[in-house]
Amino acid sequence: MGFMTQLLRAIDRRHKNDRVSYYARAYSQLLLPDQFFRHKAERLLAKHADTSADIQNRLAYYCKLATPFQLSGATCLTEFRAQPKSTYFLDFYPFIRAFPPDRQFRTLFGDVMIIPDQPSFVKSRPINGANENSVLMKLDAVRHFTFVDDPLHFRQKQSALVWRGRLHLDIAKERRLDFLREFSGKPRFDIGHINRGDVFPEFRQGRLSIPDQLNFKYILSLEGVDVATNLKWIMSSNSLCFSQKLKFETWYMEGLLQPGVHYVEIADDFSDFEEKIDYYEHHPEEAEQIIANANAYTRQFLNSEREALLSYLVIQRYLSLCLTR
* Residue 12, pLDDT score: 43
Ranges of residues in the chain whose predicted pLDDT is under 70: 1-17, 171-173, 325
pTM of the model: 0.90
CB-hemisphere CA count at 13 Å for 174?
A: 12
Residue 152 · residue 238 · CB < 8 Å: yes
Task: Report pLDDT for 241.
Answer: 98
Closest among 219, 224, 229 to 188, alpha carbons compared: 219
For residues 139 and 115, give the distance between their C-alpha atoms in angstroms, rounded to a whole number.
17
**Amino acid letter, residue 14:** R
Which candidate, 239, 173, 76, places its Cα nearest to that of 230?
239
CB-based contact 241:264 (threshold 8 Å): yes
pLDDT given for residue 162 in this prediction: 98
The C-alpha atoms of residue 298 and residue 294 are separated, in whole angstroms, by: 6
**Which ranges in the chain are annotated with CATH 3.40.50.2000?**
154-301
The pLDDT value recorded for residue 17 is 52
CB atoms within 10 A of CB 286: 14
- What pLDDT shows up at residue 316? 97
Give the per-residue pLDDT at 3: 42
Res 244: pLDDT = 95
For domain 154-301, give the CATH superfamily.
Glycogen Phosphorylase B; (3.40.50.2000)
